[in-house]
Structure 1
Amino acid sequence: MTTVGERLVEGLAARGVEVVFGIPGVHTIELYRGLASGAIRHVTPRHEQGAGFMADGYARVSGKPGVAFVITGPGVTNTLTAMAQAKADSVPMLVISGVNRRASLGLGLGMLHELPDQAAMVRALCPTERLDDPADLGPMLDRAFAAMLGGRPGPAHIEIPTDVMGLPCPALEAPAVLPQPPEAAPQALEEAASLLDAAQRPVILIGGGCRRAGAQVQALAEALDAPVVQTTNARGIMHGHTLTVAASASLAATRALIREADAVLALGTELGPTDYDAYVNGQLPDLSGMIRVDLCADQLARHKARLALRAEAGAFAAALLPRLTPRKGDGAARAEAASRAARAELADLHPAMPDQLAMVEAIRDALPGGLIVGDSTQPVYAANLCYDHDRPGGWFNAATGYGALGFGPGAAIGAAVASGAHVTCLIGDGGLGFDPAELRVAVDEALPVTFLVWNNAAFREIAEAMIAAQTKVIGCSPSPFDMGHFAAACSLPFARVPQEPEALKAALRAPMQGPRLIEVQAR
């Protein structure tokens, strides 16, 4: 007899899943029976929230859905924060959970891990289904993968009752072909080309939807001679290019560039406030005359545009390119001026920001081609405003969108599992307190992760916001770990450096075997 749990793992493997992040429990033992074949690697986090963040980091780097196995009840509620972060950042994540036996659901019998309606909680975030009939397993997996990958990416959830997991299950049919992204109509492409050809000062705005379309975006930018403004999730797509503006649209210099444009093309960006109006001053230029391209019809409906096209950004750029008349103008000069002015703005926003940015750039320069996965900490905020990474998709963090603290360790581990490349987890001492146990997972898995702790012994960003609001600072000074002892408890090599770029570079360039912890004594 082949059980539902075993068929589930077969179905995941058939859909390209290679890794599952999960913590086994009495409600998921039958799911783990399927993992015994070894077809899928299992990584054990220390907390279900960490499992979700690992799945998130894995998905961002691999391009495949990250998968988490969690128990019913607290396993699901612990994972909801990570699912919400994935929803905000358009990350494909599949959470497969248990749920109590079918006959007990909704009766309030006081069973272990019971929730009144587990699916209702999840449904507020993403599609969810319960498997009641083993014959539905294959189609249900097809629907989950279509939901994650068939349009704007995001999380999905399947719950399996404990009395269904061990039932006999027929062989699954081959996975269904995923829905293809919509293509822009030729007439719309011609209209877009006409508008852009007529412009003398075009600007392109790109977001996370362009993360895997770097070549197409670059070719389009060069044909239009258009500066390219990149959100946090788009950094690295055109590293070092003369048309790159790796600066937030929340900065005055970037906004001036946009305001002076006579055509704006927005590709794969939701135009969210954390990227476009971080200081909530409402001074973003009017974008109602833009050409906007996005996979999501709901997104396209949220902002007025002269021309809205539902399409994948890379495919759109490739289809538009032959319709354009290439030209050469002052695009590079405009991009360089905006980038220079944006960087100069940092000191006006906060006198410490230039030094914080220099430390992030030191990480990039010491470990070229690596990934930097950030938590919500001050140098991450500075770099989100103005920073150019040297690898597409190699800079991401939770400091935009949903903004979950404690994201960094799990996401860095998932990124390292996906890539095998060196990953730096940049996290504050406050954020580290949210998920410290996940560092042991990097030890267990012998992953090339540097946990770089920015230690200012405070929730300093919040403390400074309280001061700016002229209120008493309360609750912002939790005592940090003694990082040396904490590293020893985690069996991690340890170094402590001052907030000096050259000192940090030297520490990062030191040989390493497996993970390590470096503490920066922040000023």
Structure 2
Amino acid sequence: MTTVGERLVQGLAARGVEVVFGIPGVHTVELYRGLAGSPIRHVTARHEQGAAFMADGYARVSGKPGVAFLITGPGLTNALTAMAQAKADSVPMLVITGVNRRDSLGAGLGHLHELPDQAGMVRALCPSFQVTAPERLGPVLDLAFAALTADRPGPVHIEVPTDVMPLPAPPLPPPAAQSLCLPDPALIAAALSRLGTARRPVILAGGGIRGAEAAVQALAERLDAPVVQTVNARGVMFGHALSVPASPSLEATRALIAGADTVLAIGTEIGPTDYDMYLRGGFPDVSGMIRIDCSAAQLARHAAGLCIRADAGAAIAALLAGVPPGQATREGADRAAKARQAARAELAQLDPAMPARLAMVEAMRDACPGAIIVGDSTQPVYAANLVYDHDRPHGWFNAATGYGALGFAPGAAVGAALAAPASPVICLIGDGGLQFSPGELRSAVDESLPITFVVWNNAGFREIAEAMTGAGTAVIGCSPSPLRLQAFAQACDLAFDSVPHDPAALRAALRQPHQGPRLIEIRAGDTGLSH
């Protein structure tokens, strides 16, 4: 007899799932039954939120859905924060949980892990599907994977009642084919007509350009268009003359956009955490833009002169077919260079300490070429989100935009390392954020992952303290005592180093050979620059 739990694992493997992140519990024993004989690797987190953050990091780097196995009730509620981060950043994440027996649902009988309406709670955030009987497993998997990949990606939930998990289940049919959203040729022709007369075009590139990086660069070159990249698009044009790896929240970037006669926005939701980080308004009028997005709902949220609902790669390929080579001049590169230079100068105007924080991030990139840097909400990440050019696509991401969940980086770094085992991974987190999820460092040890955990130690929630001071409010609650990081690293079986706030010292520490994970403390209050 093959059970529902075993068939579920088979169905995941058939859909290309190679890793699941989770913590087993008494309500998911039957879900785990099929894992031992499957090709799917299980990675044990220390907290359900960490497991879901691992799935997030895995999805961002691999391009495939990240999958988490969690228990009924608290396992799911613990993961909701990570699911909300994935929702905000359009990350495909499949969370599979148990739920109590079918005849107990909604009865309020006080069963272990009982919620009044588990699926209803999740549906406020994302799609949720229940496997109500063995024969429903295949259709539910198809619905879930369609929701993960069609339209705007994001989290999806499947729950399996504990009395359904052990039931005999028939073989699953082959997975349903997933279709690509192709652009309307008439709309492409209209876009080409407008782009053909543009003299000062600008491209706004968001995380939705994933998989189309080379095509975006080729289109920019033919149009002679500077490419402004949101945080989730950084690295798409590293070092390119047309690259503007600077936040649209900056006045320098906004001036470039305001001076454009045609704006082409691709795969970006135009959300405030990228486009108006300081909530001061004043973003240039782009209501006449050409906008490409796979989500009809996203296209409806902002006025545009022309909306093309399509997969970004398919739409860019169609545009490239209609833009002749050789029409570009050097004017676009000059505009991009001016914007880059002005953006870096603007950092010091915002905060005199920001250029030095950015220099620390650039030291990480230079010391570890091709590294994936996974960031938390911490001061050097904030600086780099404003202006920073990474040396590989999908190699710079963090939780300081979108939902803004502290404690994201350790788990996400584990997922990233498993998705790209040949790449160095750096987890950049503050001492405050580290205390949200310290246990996930042990998961990195268990899996022997070569992650470097870089802890920006300013002994508290310094960014919040500065905001309270700036608002004329007494600073309260911003000085949680930091971990004694050397002792903590020793307890986690991690190699340890401590460096001052000095790019040269950080580069030297990062270049030291190491096996498995390690921890490097940056003493943020100690500049070390006089030594």
TM-score where L is the length of structure 2: 0.98
SS in 1 for 2:170: coil
Structure 1 match to 2:484: 482
Deviation of residue 327 (structure 1)?
2.5
Structure 2 match to 1:82: 82
Query: Equivalents in 2 of 1:3, 1:467: separation in Å?
Result: 59
Superposition pairs of residues 1-20 of structure 1, within 5 angstroms: 1-20=1-20
SS in 2 for 1:285: coil
Deviation of residue 321 (structure 1)?
1.3
- Residue 163 of structure 2 is aligned to residue 163 of structure 1: yes
Deviation of residue 317 (structure 1)?
1.1
Asked whether the equivalents of residues 203 and 228 of structure 2 are also in contact (C-alpha less than 8 Å), the reply is yes
Structure 2 match to 1:41: 41
Structure 1 match to 2:201: 202
Residue type at the aligned position of 1:465: A
Query: Equivalents in 1 of 2:365, 2:210: separation in Å?
Result: 19
Partner deviation per Cα, 1:319-370 (whole Å, 9 max, x = no partner): 1112124322400010001000000000000011000000000000000001
Equivalent residue in structure 2 for 1:464, among 460, 466, 470: 466
- Residue 86 of structure 2 is aligned to residue 54 of structure 1: no
Query: Equivalents in 1 of 2:382, 2:282: separation in Å?
Result: 20
SS in 1 for 2:506: helix
Percent identical pairs in the alignment equals 71
| Number of residues of Structure 1 aligned to a counterpart in Structure 2 | 522
Asked whether the equivalents of residues 180 and 311 of structure 2 are also in contact (C-alpha less than 8 Å), the reply is no
Deviation of residue 184 (structure 1)?
1.8
Superposition pairs of residues 94-493 of structure 1, within 5 angstroms: 94-181=94-181, 183-325=182-324, 326-420=327-421, 421-493=423-495
Residue type at the aligned position of 1:404: A
Partner deviation per Cα, 1:143-180 (whole Å, 9 max, x = no partner): 00000012211111000011110000000011000132
Deviation of residue 87 (structure 1)?
0.5
SS in 1 for 2:300: helix
SS in 2 for 1:412: helix
SS in 1 for 2:64: coil
Query: Equivalents in 1 of 2:183, 2:67: separation in Å?
Result: 32
Partner deviation per Cα, 1:89-119 (whole Å, 9 max, x = no partner): 0000000000001111111111110101101
Query: Equivalents in 2 of 1:360, 1:311: separation in Å?
Result: 35
Asked whether the equivalents of residues 10 and 38 of structure 2 are also in contact (C-alpha less than 8 Å), the reply is no
Query: Equivalents in 1 of 2:114, 2:487: separation in Å?
Result: 39
Structure 2 match to 1:91: 91
Asked whether the equivalents of residues 229 and 244 of structure 1 are also in contact (C-alpha less than 8 Å), the reply is yes
Query: Equivalents in 1 of 2:457, 2:97: separation in Å?
Result: 36
Deviation of residue 15 (structure 1)?
0.2
Query: Equivalents in 2 of 1:43, 1:196: separation in Å?
Result: 48
Query: Equivalents in 2 of 1:28, 1:247: separation in Å?
Result: 45
Query: Equivalents in 1 of 2:129, 2:197: separation in Å?
Result: 49
Deviates more, 1:69-78 or 1:187-196: 187-196
Asked whether the equivalents of residues 427 and 452 of structure 1 are also in contact (C-alpha less than 8 Å), the reply is yes
Structure 2 match to 1:31: 31
Residue type at the aligned position of 2:51: A
Deviation of residue 124 (structure 1)?
0.7
Partner deviation per Cα, 1:440-492 (whole Å, 9 max, x = no partner): 00000000100000000010110011011100000000000000000001000
SS in 2 for 1:165: coil
Asked whether the equivalents of residues 4 and 169 of structure 2 are also in contact (C-alpha less than 8 Å), the reply is yes
Query: Equivalents in 2 of 1:460, 1:347: separation in Å?
Result: 18
Query: Equivalents in 2 of 1:319, 1:328: separation in Å?
Result: 22
> Where does structure 2 lack aligned partners over 5 or more consecutive residues?
526-531
Structure 1 match to 2:70: 70
SS in 1 for 2:406: coil
Query: Equivalents in 1 of 2:156, 2:253: separation in Å?
Result: 36
Residue type at the aligned position of 1:56: D
Asked whether the equivalents of residues 211 and 233 of structure 1 are also in contact (C-alpha less than 8 Å), the reply is no
Partner deviation per Cα, 1:156-207 (whole Å, 9 max, x = no partner): 10000111100000000110001322x2222211111111111111000000
Residue type at the aligned position of 1:87: K
Query: Equivalents in 2 of 1:36, 1:446: separation in Å?
Result: 20
Query: Equivalents in 1 of 2:227, 2:418: separation in Å?
Result: 31
Query: Equivalents in 2 of 1:342, 1:211: separation in Å?
Result: 25
Query: Equivalents in 2 of 1:418, 1:187: separation in Å?
Result: 39
Q: CA RMSD in A?
A: 0.7
Asked whether the equivalents of residues 496 and 520 of structure 2 are also in contact (C-alpha less than 8 Å), the reply is yes
Query: Equivalents in 1 of 2:184, 2:177: separation in Å?
Result: 23
SS in 1 for 2:76: helix
SS in 2 for 1:302: coil
Residue type at the aligned position of 2:469: I
SS in 1 for 2:42: strand
Structure 1 match to 2:508: 506
Query: Equivalents in 2 of 1:70, 1:355: separation in Å?
Result: 41
Query: Equivalents in 2 of 1:174, 1:274: separation in Å?
Result: 41
Deviation of residue 5 (structure 1)?
0.6
Query: Equivalents in 1 of 2:278, 2:417: separation in Å?
Result: 33
Deviation of residue 36 (structure 1)?
1.4
TM-score where L is the length of structure 1: 0.99
SS in 2 for 1:355: helix
Query: Equivalents in 2 of 1:110, 1:323: separation in Å?
Result: 64
Deviation of residue 290 (structure 1)?
0.5
Deviation of residue 132 (structure 1)?
1.2
Partner deviation per Cα, 1:361-390 (whole Å, 9 max, x = no partner): 000000000100000000000000000000
Residue type at the aligned position of 2:61: V
Residue type at the aligned position of 1:347: A
Query: Equivalents in 2 of 1:522, 1:382: separation in Å?
Result: 14
> Where does structure 1 lack aligned partners over 5 or more consecutive residues?
none
